[in-house]
Amino acid sequence: MRCSSRFALTCLAGLAVWIGCQPAQREPGDTLAALFSGEEAEWIDMSYAYDESTIFWPTARSFELEVVSAGLTERGYYYAANNFCMAEHGGTHFDAPIHFAEGGQTAEQVPIELLIGPAVVIDVSAAAEADPDYQVSVSDFEAWEAEHGRIPDGAIVLVNTGWGTRWPDRGLVLGTTLTGPEAVPELHFPGLHPDAARWLVENRRIDAVGLDTPSIDYGQSTLFETHRVLYAASIPALENVALLDRLPATGAYVIALPMKIRRGSGGPTRVVGVIPGAASAGS
């Protein structure tokens, strides 16, 4: 049967849809319990931890952790607490439309259902390995659809460039170890071509996109057209997504929960991939 991802509003997006598609002999509550216990699904943390090695844009403020307390108090119990400071855009994070679209949604305004739903994964890792400046094209999406069918409405489109295998080597991920404005012209990593972004906006009804690179535009971009095209259409993006090679081309789901920063242009995000038992078994 065909199931709609819009069931997300009542029960964790596409996961609820998957439950609703299971054989009738099992109660939905039992299926949900099995799903969350890991008995019938593989859960994958697709986020990088924040520490001194986290990769940020060369002109952005890196992650800083200040230890406030880590030890026994005067009353004899242990207490730990920290302060941290960093830019919105670094590590595994999301971009709200306001990032490149004047008047667009800010971080707290992006509907959460856009960041929870069925995932499709387009693998361009071979092309990106051959060309660090590779830009994902319309033909890449057309080739994927020729093999797997049309990108479904409400999908979160993820692109695996293979760049996740380079983390956290700054030089390999960014193409340079320089920092500051002088580093920007030296950036080399794959991205989504603006024409491909326009094709998605004009021909498909997707909810979000995500890449395993520091930006959805390739490293040598100076106009950030892909950002502008997607965000003008209120399609948010995920960047530096980890372990994209662990997800199948179809059949998995994504839960991406960003920090809810009022008036934010984005923020750190915990991205989780869920592969239901049937999908993880290859059916």
**CATH code of residue 166:** 3.50.30.50
The predicted pLDDT at position 28 comes to 61
Q: Which contiguous run of DSSP H or E holds residue 83?
A: strand 78-85
Pairwise CA distance, residues 257 & 93, whole Å: 9
Listed range (105-114, 190-199, 269-278) with the worst mean pLDDT? 269-278
Quick check: is 79 in a domain? no
Q: Which two tokens stand for residue 20?
A: 């609703």
The predicted pLDDT at position 68 comes to 98
Quick check: is 242 in a domain? yes
Instruction: Tell me which residue range forms the domain holding 136.
Output: 42-61+88-280
Quick check: is 78 in a domain? no
Count up the domains in the chain and report the number.
Answer: 1
Quick check: is 204 in a domain? yes
Q: Which of 260, 202, 263, 265 is nearest to 237 (CA)?
A: 265
The average pLDDT across 173-192 equals 98
- The vertex-122 CA angle with 220 and 126, nearest 5°, equals 65
Listed range (32-36, 61-65, 96-100, 249-253) with the worst mean pLDDT? 32-36
pLDDT of 61 higher than 80: yes
Pairwise CA distance, residues 179 & 129, whole Å: 24
Quick check: is 54 in a domain? yes
Does the annotation count 99 as an active-site position?
A: yes
| Chain segment 247-279, per-residue pLDDT in tens | 999 999 999 999 999 999 999 999 999 999 855
Pairwise CA distance, residues 165 & 145, whole Å: 26
- The vertex-168 CA angle with 167 and 173, nearest 5°, equals 60
Pairwise CA distance, residues 200 & 251, whole Å: 20
Torsion on CA atoms 111, 113, 119, 124, rounded to nearest 10: 0
Confidence of residue 8 (pLDDT cuts 50, 70, 90): very low
Q: Which of 258, 52, 59 is nearest to 174 (CA)?
A: 59
Quick check: is 168 in a domain? yes
The average pLDDT across 15-43 equals 66
The predicted pLDDT at position 99 comes to 98
Quick check: is 4 in a domain? no
| Chain segment 202-246, per-residue pLDDT in tens | 999 999 999 999 999 999 999 999 999 999 999 999 999 999 999
Query: What are the backbone angles phi and psi of residue 228, rounded to the nearest 5°?
Result: -65, -40
Average pLDDT over the chain reads 91
Quick check: is 3 in a domain? no
The proportion of the chain whose per-residue pLDDT surpasses 90, expressed as a percent, equals 83
Pairwise CA distance, residues 265 & 110, whole Å: 10
List 89, 93, 99, 227, catalytic entry: 99
Q: Which two tokens stand for residue 4?
A: 């709609």
User: In this predicted model, which residue has the larger pLDDT, 214 or 12?
Assistant: 214
